Amino acid sequence: MTAAEKAKANFMRGLNCAQSVLLAFSDHIGLDEETALKVSAPFGGGMGRMREVCGTVSGMCMVLGLLTYNAGNPTNAEKSALYAREQEVARRFRERNGSIICRELLSGVKADSSPNAEARTPEYYKKRPCGDLCADAAEILEQYLMEEGLIAREAERSRSGGDGQ
């Protein structure tokens, strides 16, 4: 299953957008599922349903931090390298979807910024692009990570039977 398929399936099972993307990379990031879900939970709905930066983009950034940031050496160069990676995947997401802002991505969909989570009904999933945005973010990130040699290409993972690290 590709990261895109995992991310969309995660969203369709009730996870928020940030959780869906982060968890799609669980075999690479070294976090157990419970920790991954807890750390990414606040970023759903454009951070706490405030409709700011899309949670899928936040999820991509979390994965990049977990895979590439040297927390033992937090120099300006280390921070700058991470920021450059984050800006690149955000640029790709914006190029594909027109924005990285939740409220803009949901334009035309009745979505408020109240703190109350909506029931996940068939109508909810039908009216929202979020599942597809989760898939887009995971696909963009997976491609970027492969380009940078941070994870193995799918064919290499299949041959080795490993998780790509």
* pLDDT tens by residue, 117-142: 888 888 888 889 999 999 999 999 99
Predicted pLDDT of residue 154: 61
Other residues' Cβ atoms within 10 Å of the Cβ of residue 28:
19
Count structural domains, the chain: 1
Distance CA 51, CA 111 (A): 9
Domain enclosing residue 90, as ranges: 3-160
Chain segment 82-101, per-residue pLDDT in tens: 999 999 999 999 999 999 99
Burial label for 80, CB within 10 Å (0-12, 13-18, 19+), is exposed
Phi, psi (deg, nearest 5) at residue 101: -95, 125
| Domain annotation covers residue 165 | no
Chain segment 40-74, per-residue pLDDT in tens: 999 999 999 999 999 999 999 999 999 999 999 89
Residue with tokens 């991470």: 82
Average pLDDT, integer, range 25-52: 95
Query: Is the whole model's pTM more than 0.85, yes or no?
Result: yes
| Domain annotation covers residue 13 | yes
Predicted pLDDT of residue 82: 97
Which carries the bigger pLDDT value, residue 162 or residue 101? 101
Distance CA 54, CA 102 (A): 4
